[in-house]
Structure 1
Amino acid sequence: MKAEPYDPLRLCVYATIALLAWVFGPWALLGFAVLGFVGYYKARRAGLTRSKCLLRDTRLVLAYLGLLALVAVGAIVYAFAT
């Protein structure tokens, strides 16, 4: 049986996320950060302590995603204030 060729799906996903971030700016960052935070929060509550993410420890991942969400909120507030 012939092995399936590598499918670079992640690259397509990354390009789509970059497009959304470009089009929607900080709103896209906020959405993806919150979505990721909720996902990792639920996974941590279910017992996941190590992630495949570069940061490895789920507490660090949660802190990173929370920081991204705060930066996005700051950018949104700044855009409306100016």
Structure 2
Amino acid sequence: MTTGEGPAPATRPTGVAYEQARAAETARASEGGQAKPYDPLKLCVYATVALLAWLFGAWAVLGFAALGFAGYWRARRAGLTRSKCYLRDTRLVLAYLGLITLVAAAALVLPHTLR
């Protein structure tokens, strides 16, 4: 049924993961087929963030959430509407990070106000 130009538009995969895989495939092809080994940098970053959250508790959560919120706020004002974040839409990411910021702030303030 297709003309040999690839899958029909309704069945063509889309999304950030697909686009990243295509970019990696293109990069491998341009390097003469030499695939670079996978660098699990994200796992090191996740472990570092988890360690900081463990050591500094709600202060670290508040700091990372506020930093993320500020970064996404600037990116949205610059025109970013789709993110590589799992939530995709930058408005959802901002709402998520804003909620985390409020909860962390409440966790820091409430114990001092309930005495």
Could you say which TM-score interval applies, normalised by the shorter chain? over 0.9
TM-score, normalization by structure 1: 0.93
Structure number, greater radius of gyration: 2
Aligned to 1:34: 66
Separation (CA, whole Å) in 1 of partners of 2:53 and 2:112: 18
Query: How far did residue 28 of structure 1 move?
Result: 0.3
Query: How far did residue 5 of structure 1 move?
Result: 0.6
Separation (CA, whole Å) in 2 of partners of 1:11 and 1:79: 33
CA RMSD of aligned residues (A): 1.2
The letter for the 2-side match of 1:30 is: L
Structure 1: runs of 5 or more not aligned: none
Report how many residues are paired: 82
Separation (CA, whole Å) in 2 of partners of 1:25 and 1:63: 21
Aligned to 2:6: none
Query: How far did residue 78 of structure 1 move?
Result: 2.3
Aligned to 2:108: 76
Residue among 35, 44, 48 paired with 1:16: 48
TM-score, normalization by structure 2: 0.67
Higher-RCO chain (CA-CA 8 Å, sequence separation at least 6): 1
Larger helix proportion of the pair: 1
Matched, 1:60 2:92: yes
Separation (CA, whole Å) in 1 of partners of 2:110 and 2:46: 27
Residue among 22, 33, 36 paired with 1:4: 36
Stretches of 4+ moved more than 6 A in 1?
none
